[in-house]
């Protein structure tokens, strides 16, 4: 089995690569970092990382000729397991509102909006370790303790995805109101937090992704 990590000039690929590799080692999975749409088409699973501003990331993705088409083909038509991380998850939305309006992939309808905590004492970016509240069970959260006394995930973001359909929310996190922490439908899942930086929780989630048979 192979996992493609999509390289479109955005962010911390080295960490994502090493974390997936670590989780994959036991399962005999090959991990490929690639900007080649054909390699994405040939992979069994796909990870879309992303760090930075929504519009920049979207531009970066569009600049890799044929990549959006390869993703649509493999994930939407082909039903391959897909994991979006941070801005890679936000890109699943219909559109992002960071520094102007930019179109998303529209796989999880909704908008990426600025975080506005109810309390003025709460700083933005929402930065650091927070717990998850599961809205429904999901194979990627299997055997991961969630809730106030559960494991923590590492977040760093100023925007979050407000889904049009509440059923697409897998988990939230509390920060002066509810923020979307994880979304999913069918073979598609996305995390606002960084599993590759979330120690125990992160490696367990990635291992679950590699075993996932949606």
Catalogue the active-site residues: 86, 194, 196
| Exposed e or buried b per residue across 176-198, where buried means at least 16 C-beta atoms within 10 angstroms of its C-beta | beebbbbbbbebbbbbbbbbbbb
Please report whether residue 127 would count as binding another protein according to CB under 8 A: yes
Taking the complex as a whole, how short is the minimal distance between the CB of residue 124 and another protein, in angstroms? 6
Q: Which of 5, 188, 201, 204 binds another protein (CB under 8 A)?
A: 201
Q: Identify the CA nearest to 18 among candidates 4, 31, 1, 2.
A: 31
- Pick the stretch among 64-72, 104-112, 126-134, 180-188 that binds another protein (CB under 8 A): 126-134
Site for another protein in 44-73 (CB under 8 A): 51-53, 56
C-beta of 110 vs 202, nearer to another protein: 202
Site for another protein in 158-187 (CB under 8 A): 158, 174-175
Q: Among the residues of the chain, which ranges form H helices?
A: 13-25, 37-42, 54-63, 67-71, 87-90, 199-211
C-beta of 70 vs 86, nearer to another protein: 86
Measured CA to CA, the distance from residue 126 to residue 11 in angstroms comes to 18
Measured CA to CA, the distance from residue 74 to residue 189 in angstroms comes to 14
**Which residues bind to another protein, rule: CB under 8 A?**
11-15, 18-19, 22, 51-53, 56, 122-131, 148, 151-152, 154-158, 174-175, 194, 196-203
């Amino acid at each position: 089995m192979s996992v493609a990590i999509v390289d479109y000039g955005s962010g911390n690929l080295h960490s994502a690569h090493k974390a997936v590799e670590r989780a994959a080692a036991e399962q005999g999975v090959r991990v490929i970092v690639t900007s080649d749409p054909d390699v994405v088409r040939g992979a069994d699973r796909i990870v879309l990382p992303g760090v930075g501003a929504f519009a920049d990331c979207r531009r970066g993705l569009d600049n890799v000729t044929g990549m959006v088409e390869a993703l649509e083909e493999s994930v939407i038509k082909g039903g391959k397991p897909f994991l979006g991380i941070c801005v890679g998850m936000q890109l699943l939305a219909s559109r992002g509102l960071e520094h102007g309006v930019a179109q998303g992939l529209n796989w999880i309808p909704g908008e990426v909006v600025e975080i506005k905590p109810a309390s003025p004492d709460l700083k933005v970016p929402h930065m650091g370790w927070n717990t998850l509240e599961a809205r429904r069970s999901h194979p990627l959260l299997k055997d991961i303790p969630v809730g106030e006394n559960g494991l923590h995930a590492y977040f760093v973001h100023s925007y979050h995805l407000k889904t049009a359909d509440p059923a697409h929310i897998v988990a939230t996190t509390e920060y002066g109101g509810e923020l979307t922490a994880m979304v999913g439908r069918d073979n598609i899942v996305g995390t606002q937090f960084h599993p590759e930086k979330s120690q125990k929780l992160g490696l367990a989630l990635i291992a679950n992704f590699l075993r996932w048979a949606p």
